[in-house]
Amino acid sequence: MPSNIAMLTVQFKLRQGEDHHLEEILAFLDRDPPLTAAMCDSKQEGPGAREPVCMLCRRAEADPDICGDKLEKGGLCAHVFCLFFATDLFCQENDRVGLMGFLARDIRNVVRRAAQKRCCVCGQSGAAIMCCRQSCDRWFHLPCAKEGGCVTQYIPYYSSFCSEHRPEQDVEATPEPGTDCPICMESVEDRKTFRTLVCPACKRAWFHRDCIQGQAMSAGYLCLHCPLCRDIEQFLTQMFILGIRIPF
């Protein structure tokens, strides 16, 4: 078991050779890991209370595995990861100020800008996340990301990519006919896709994105590994880059 995330090896390339500064990311993680569930305090609503809406995705309800807890303070309401993925919204060093370190004025500025941006997935306004690829002007809501094949990376710098520019697996492998996901035991697609992933180490374990995301939420960083070969280093690195949220 690696003692820290800096030990992970890089077996991944972005499409068209885009530099992802992965060494900087791993160094950042080693020094200051991302959020844990215990750091995200959400306000509890009483029975019959109207469910508050996130200012950044306009959803009262969203998948907590994707969006995180919903926070409320001083008239502000937002999901943890809607805050971290919002384009040009920066967290202050003191997480006691504003909403978990995000200043109220900055959040409201992002909300005003998002009102002019339409989601490339659902077509509705209020999209606060822009694709990181230079010159790409696609925007989307965080809850729409999976449906639209977009990738959001739950590691600093919380980068986001549309379906056209998302990172893809650089692994030469094709599943044999009749291959099943080792997690749900249901069949997988006959090739690598957004929804069908392969272990970069053994190239034999094929699994559904939803299945490995569920496993990651249960196992966490310290226990997640390839379901077949049990590789840790290559496997974790690739899952982080492909947008799988792995709690610390």
Neighbours of 82 (CB within 10 A): 29
Domains and CATH numbers, the chain: 21-163 (3.30.40.10), 168-248 (3.30.40)
CA-closest candidate to residue 190, choices 198, 182, 200, 179? 179
Q: What is the pLDDT of residues 93-127, one digit of tens each?
A: 888 889 999 999 999 999 999 999 999 999 999 99
The CA radius of gyration of the chain, in Å to the nearest whole number, is: 18
d(CA 156, CA 159): 7
Q: Rounded to two decimals, what is the model's pTM?
A: 0.81
Residue 17's identity, in one-letter code, is G
Task: Note the pLDDT tens digit of each residue in 50-77.
Answer: 789 999 999 999 999 999 999 999 999 9
pLDDT one-digit tens code per residue, 198-247: 999 999 999 999 999 999 999 999 999 999 999 999 999 999 999 999 99
**Gap between the Cα atoms of 101 and 110, Å rounded:** 15
Identity of the highest mean pLDDT range in 6-10, 73-77, 160-164, 170-174: 160-164
Query: What are the b/e assignments for 192-227, b being 16+ CB within 10 Å?
Result: bebebbbbbbbeebbbbbebbbebbbeeebeebbbb
DSSP β-ladder status, 160-161 and 70-73 = unpaired
